[in-house]
Amino acid sequence: MWGAPAEPADSYYEVRPECTDVPNTKFKIRPGKTLSVRRWKAAFSPDGRLDIAKTLDRIHRGGIHPTIRGEVWEFLLGCFDADSTYEERDQIRQQRREQYAKMKSDCREIFPVVGSGKYITAPVITEDGHPISDPLVLAETSQDDNTIEIVKELTSRGPLDNKVIQWLLTLHQIGLDVRRTDRTLVFYEKEENLAKLWDILSVYAWIDTDVGYCQGMSDLCSPMIMLLEDEADAFWCFERLMRRLRGNFRCTDSSVGVETQLCSLATVTQVIDPKLHQHLETLGGGDYLFAFRMLMVLFRREFSFCDSLYLWEMMWALEYDPDMFYQYEDSGSDMEKTEGAKVRQKSTRKCGKYERENMKVKNPEAHLPISVFLVASVLKDKSSTLLQEARGLDDVVQILNDITGNLDAKKACIGAMKLHKKYLKKPNAI
């Protein structure tokens, strides 16, 4: 209701009382600005088609109410087409739930701990495919005798396929990361929620044979578990997010995927703040590796849990592409958003503001993710401090660490949009 006071959002993501050092949340539910349950329901036609333009505008103004955040994210991430009907989405949801159940069943057939409500935190197999049964290792983990018997039975069938070995070698690392993820939240005091996060990441590691699992993915998946009650729905929301970000996690013997975005960040900074770029190069930070974490997990560590969700939905609303659903569906198992999959005339009205700016640029090389400009915006804001106080890379890292809990998600997005426009106007940018 107009004129009503803003409501704090922290109560929707309860923090454990003993955790007193978590960043303060700045996001508040603001009547008339935040996308409310009423506004969300009113955005659908009688047969279920979403007025995405009005929805994006509302998200730009004040984010999404926590009670509907999960279902709105499904549209922002391309799980569903805004122009689909209720009936069409029900069919897609049912098909995806069955598909996830099949993938999880395949994983469980190989390693029955999947789907058991448990998870592992120590290796169960050697790199050459033999079971590990070291009692000292087992004593320090959540494994029991049954887990070891599972591995022994599996290896007794003969030599394991390399894909199976690589997957089994990953499972304990997922378990270790799951234990560390969002441990300040009451939600993850329940073992069943930790096991659900482990299950989703384990299934994803099985189907994505190119990238598999990498550290940081648990930070990206964790909110999906909390926002979407059905495990399959949470999995597909995470899978769609990974289609945007998996290139960051793709590693070779000589490079890490995120280096591409770090190079883009260096280029952007050189254009919009050449003095700062030169200073960073002089300090030996021209590779911008100090921004690695921000790009890999989308500022999860720089914001409170609640504010990071607000930042994400602002980013996705700004970047929203109405063709996204069809691009993902057509690309199929390639798991990448492919330009060749575009089949419809794109309506600028249905695009996010950032995507509209990109549409004006003919050179696809200039189409950088908004996350690059978010980091550039942070560097720009800290430019004078970095120039005056940073005498080495340790100083750069310390100055940037000091922003934790002090950033405003909406202001960061506005700053990113301004830098993006400024960058595109520079002749050497495109």
Q: Residue 316's domain is classified under what CATH number? A: 1.10.472.80
- The answer to whether residues 221 and 281 belong to one domain is no
Asked whether residue 318 is domain-assigned, the answer is yes
Q: Is residue 242 part of a domain?
A: no
- Does residue 141 share a domain with residue 262? no
Does residue 266 sit in the same domain as residue 144?
no
Q: What angle do CA 193, 306, 242 make, to 5 degrees?
A: 65
pLDDT at res. 159: 78
Tell whether 116 and 179 lie within a shared domain: yes
Does 393 reside within a domain?
yes
Task: Please check whether residue 234 lies inside any domain of the structure.
Answer: no
The parent domain of residue 285 ranges over 255-326+347-424
Is the domain of 412 the same as that of 265? yes
Q: Domains in the chain: how many in total?
A: 2
Phi, psi of 282 (to 5 degrees): -60, -35
Rounded to 5 degrees, what are φ and ψ at 413? -70, -40
360 located within any domain: yes
Pair (305, 420) in one structural domain: yes
At 128 the pLDDT is 87
Last residue of a domain, one of 210, 227, 244: 227
Both 175 and 98 in one domain: the answer is yes
Based on the fold, state whether residues 295 and 400 are members of the same structural domain: yes
Q: Are residues 171 and 319 in the same domain?
A: no
Residue at which a domain ends, from 212, 227, 242: 227
Mean pLDDT for all residues in the chain = 89
The model's confidence at residue 335, banded by pLDDT at 50, 70 and 90, is: low
Distance between alpha carbon 177 and the CA centroid of its chain, in Å? 15
- Asked if residue 404 and residue 263 are part of one domain, the reply reads yes
Q: Write the pLDDT tens digit of every residue in 118-152.
A: 999 988 888 988 887 666 555 544 555 566 677 67
Judge if 310 and 175 occupy the same domain. Answer: no
Does residue 417 share a domain with residue 305?
yes
Q: State the virtual CA torsion across 373, 328, 34, 50 in degrees, nearest 10.
A: 140
Assign 405 a pLDDT band (cuts: 50, 70, 90). confident
> pTM of this prediction?
0.92
Q: Is 161 left (phi over 0), alpha (psi -120 to 50) or beta?
A: beta
